[in-house]
């Protein structure tokens, strides 16, 4: 579903969907019914805002610092993953003070959520709590039950022959939840692979890897300390000594 941006001072519209305020300070003159959730962890720190507004940092320097803050904050990473899950099933609008067209961190957050692969560089520390942060009381998001999806290649039956015997594919969420601390290879639909140690997995199959490596065309392309891979981008997951 679309992730759009607006100034909090622009009129609200039904097409906005869930309206998320992502400011550090509460906007003056704005009533609480103008937004659904105030998500402070997706806003720049007071120090960063002061440095940018005071001319000590350029916009490019601000962007780099803000992304660094997101990476370093478990609350911010949790919020990103939860918001990404919500945006799969509902329209989302990110709100801040700045008028449309002016530099604003809300565009960076939007790009992280909507650009394939960008969210893979982010980590959340407690995935199980994430989606509850953004449940909209007016329109609770629905979501498929990932535990009913099988490791079955498209076009094949739910049972397949392995080494001449009939084998029922395993439920991926249940397998991954038992695979914490094990090494895994995650293949994306873009043919990019991530290899690392599973440290967490949430109900939406977003997988956190530690000591992660990125491979393109079978060649190592990058090393990451920690990454999160969105479940809806995954083609398959292979766990060492399990699949």
CATH code: domain of residue 184: 2.30.30.100
pTM beyond 0.85: the answer is: no
Question: 3-state class of 155 per DSSP?
Answer: coil
- Contact criterion met (CB below 8 Å) for 175 and 186: no
Report yes or no on 53 lying in a domain. Answer: yes
Q: Which domain holds residue 95?
A: 3-115
Report yes or no on 222 lying in a domain. Answer: yes
CA distances to 125, 160, 175, 176 from 168, rounded to whole Å, are: 32, 7, 13, 16
Name the DSSP letter for residue 37: E
- Contact criterion met (CB below 8 Å) for 212 and 194: yes
Decide which of 79, 99, 115 is a domain's last residue: 115
C-alpha to C-alpha distance for 17 and 52, rounded to whole angstroms: 31
Report yes or no on 78 lying in a domain. Answer: yes
Length of the chain, in residues: 243
Q: What is the pLDDT of residues 42-100, one digit of tens each?
A: 999 999 999 999 999 999 999 999 988 988 887 888 788 778 877 877 889 999 998 88
What per-residue confidence (pLDDT) applies to 173?
66
What per-residue confidence (pLDDT) applies to 204?
67
What per-residue confidence (pLDDT) applies to 242?
46
Report yes or no on 158 lying in a domain. Answer: no
State the sign of the Cα–Cα–Cα–Cα dihedral 175, 181, 187, 190: positive
| Residues 107 and 184 occupy one common structural domain | no
Contacts of 118 (CB under 8 A, 6+ apart): 111, 112
| Residues 8 and 74 occupy one common structural domain | yes
> Of 205, 199, 138, whose CA–CA distance to 172 is shortest?
205
| Residues 181 and 95 occupy one common structural domain | no
Report yes or no on 151 lying in a domain. Answer: no
How many domains does the structure of the chain reveal?
Answer: 2
Report yes or no on 76 lying in a domain. Answer: yes
Residue with tokens 């609008």: 93
Report yes or no on 203 lying in a domain. Answer: yes
**Residue ranges of the chain with per-residue pLDDT less than 70:** 1, 116-174, 203-204, 241-243
| Residues 94 and 177 occupy one common structural domain | no
Report yes or no on 135 lying in a domain. Answer: no
| Residues 174 and 101 occupy one common structural domain | no
C-alpha to C-alpha distance for 177 and 201, rounded to whole angstroms: 6
C-alpha to C-alpha distance for 76 and 11, rounded to whole angstroms: 27
Both structure tokens of 243: 């699949």
Both structure tokens of 24: 């550090």
| Residues 14 and 88 occupy one common structural domain | yes
């Amino acid at each position: 579903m679309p992730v759009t941006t607006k100034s909090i001072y622009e009129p609200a519209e039904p097409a906005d969907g869930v309206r998320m305020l992502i400011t550090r300070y509460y906007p003056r003159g704005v009533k609480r019914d103008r937004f659904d959730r105030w998500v402070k962890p997706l806003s720049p720190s007071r120090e960063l805002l002061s440095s940018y507004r005071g001319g000590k940092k350029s916009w490019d320097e601000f962007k780099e610092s803000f992304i660094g803050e997101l990476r370093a904050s478990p609350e911010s990473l949790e919020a990103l993953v939860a918001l990404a899950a919500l945006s799969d099933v509902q329209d989302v609008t990110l709100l801040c003070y700045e008028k449309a067209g002016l530099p604003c961190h809300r565009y960076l957050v939007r790009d992280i959520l909507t650009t394939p692969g960008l969210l893979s560089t982010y980590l959340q520390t407690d995935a199980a709590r994430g989606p509850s942060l953004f449940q909209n009381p007016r329109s609770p998001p629905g979501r498929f039950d990932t535990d009913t999806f099988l490791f079955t290649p498209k076009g094949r039956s739910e049972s397949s022959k392995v080494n001449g015997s009939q084998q029922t594919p395993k439920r991926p969420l249940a397998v991954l939840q038992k695979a914490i601390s094990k090494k895994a290879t995650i293949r994306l639909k873009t043919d990019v692979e991530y290899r690392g140690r599973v440290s967490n997995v949430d109900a939406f199959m977003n997988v956190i890897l530690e000591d992660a490596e990125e491979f393109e065309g079978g060649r190592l392309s990058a090393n990451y300390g920690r990454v999160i891979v969105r479940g809806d981008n995954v083609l398959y997951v292979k766990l060492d000594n399990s699949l």
